Structure 1
Amino acid sequence: MLDKVFTNNQVTIAGEVVSDFTFSHEIYGENFFLVNIAVSRLSDSCDIIPVMVSDRLMDVKGDYKGCILQASGQFRSYNRHEETKNRLVLSVFAREVSFVEIPEGEQNPNHIFLDGYVCKKPVYRKTPLGREIADVLLAVNRPYGKSDYIPCICWGRNARYADQFEVGAHVQLWGRIQSREYQKKIDEEVYEKRVAYEVSVSKLEYLSEE
């Protein structure tokens, strides 16, 4: 059972370390830290992705900025309570980390596979330029009755396909993790810059309705 749970959420990313390690939390004497890495896109832009690392995996006190860190693990979520609302916080939970060299001209890896269940009716829309998009919120099981809630974006024919899914649909998808900046309205005249993380879907398969 645990093997299935560990294989339904698989991530491998590599990118340049662009921050120090900051303490996140402690569980049973094990300390976890967050570090941001910049993962390049084909468009020469990059996604800034937070990675959760245990201090048992590596020395988190070092300065690794500028190094290329590769992390394999799972894309996880938790709800952070802010004032009167809960905010979904996402990061890559690293099970393995290593420093690597990416050959010149090659793109840093950014791969994710998810096997989960649609927990909200997908939202299909078109951009002002006519590009088709569907937002899918996927619930992915993990041990001890917990789940991760992962926002996913489908494009084109995948968006039209996802628009047919009902709540509870069992699907598998492949894609990449991306970051996106947006402005959060705090009050009438104040906006706060925030970053959202989501999976950009390249392949999508429907398994069953449950």
Structure 2
Amino acid sequence: MNYNTEKNNKVFIMGEVVSEATFSHEVYGEGFYDLNVRVMRLSGQADVLPVTVSERLITDGELKIGATLCALGQFRSYNKIENGKSRLMLTVFVRELVDMPPSKNPNSIVLSGYICKPPVYRTTPFNREIADLLVAVNRAYNKSDYIPCIAWGRNARFVKNLQVGDKIALSGRIQSREYQKKLSEYEVKTMTAYEVSVSKLAAFDSAENFDLEHEFNLYSSEKTYDNDNYEI
């Protein structure tokens, strides 16, 4: 399937390679490698994102530590068994490396899919509204990617009323977030979560005119702000 026809999951990222590419897996003789890329925010903070790229896209020295990766692709999920338990893993799957960035925004994503878990709405101690949602995005060959997303403010208020099975379209950026996981009474492990921070969102009963291709181009070119700085 041509990537240009896949409009329900499109990502653009541009950032610095911060880890060596390590072999991940092979499909029909094609090897894939994993690496991490640091993508800067306007605030000066950075998101360090997992990236998967085919050996067929890599030329000698192109993705060494310190190099700039500029890529179009998809945000994908897969299950990994750790200690006998299944864990949802996420990665930016590169479909195309580009020489010239299509926009000034180094981190943009648009998705359309289905709510697959009841959204979780809450407020912070500073009275900010947040809603967590899990979106199932269809892929070729009857596969789906399960993408955690987080909405803020009025988007969070909108999301809390959605039902499992509702179809939505959204745009935003991919972010990384560290958290502490308690393994035992004496052991705590620092983990990293990846999710889509939602900038715009619509349900499909009101989103039939939500043109994902147009939204991707628009969102990629507009000046965006970190959610910590949103006026909502």
1:160 aligns with 2:157: yes
Give the deviation of 1:183 after TM superposition. 1.2
Matches within 5 A, 1:38-187: 38-59=38-59, 64-98=64-98, 109-187=106-184
Q: Which has the higher helix share?
A: 2
TM-score for the superposition, normalised by structure 2: 0.83
Residue pair 2:174, 2:196 contacting (<8 A) in 1 also: yes
Deviations 1:120-149 (A, max 9, x none): 010000001100000010000001111000
Aligned-pair identity in percent equals 56
Deviations 1:49-99 (A, max 9, x none): 111000001137666222211111100000111123211100000001145
Where do 5+ consecutive residues of structure 2 fail to align? 207-232
One-letter identity of the residue aligned with 1:203: K
Where do 5+ consecutive residues of structure 1 fail to align? none
Which residue number corresponds to residue 200 of structure 1? 197
Residue pair 1:2, 1:143 contacting (<8 A) in 2 also: no
Give the deviation of 1:189 after TM superposition. 1.2
Q: Distance in 1 between matches of 2:99 and 2:148?
A: 29
Residue pair 1:38, 1:48 contacting (<8 A) in 2 also: yes
- DSSP 3-state at the match of 1:194: strand
Deviations 1:160-196 (A, max 9, x none): 0000100000000000000001112211211111111
Q: Which has the higher strand share?
A: 1
4+ aligned runs moved over 6 Å, structure 1: 1-5
Output the aligned Cα RMSD: 2.3
Aligned length: 206
- DSSP 3-state at the match of 1:159: helix
Change (3 A) 1:8 1:43: same
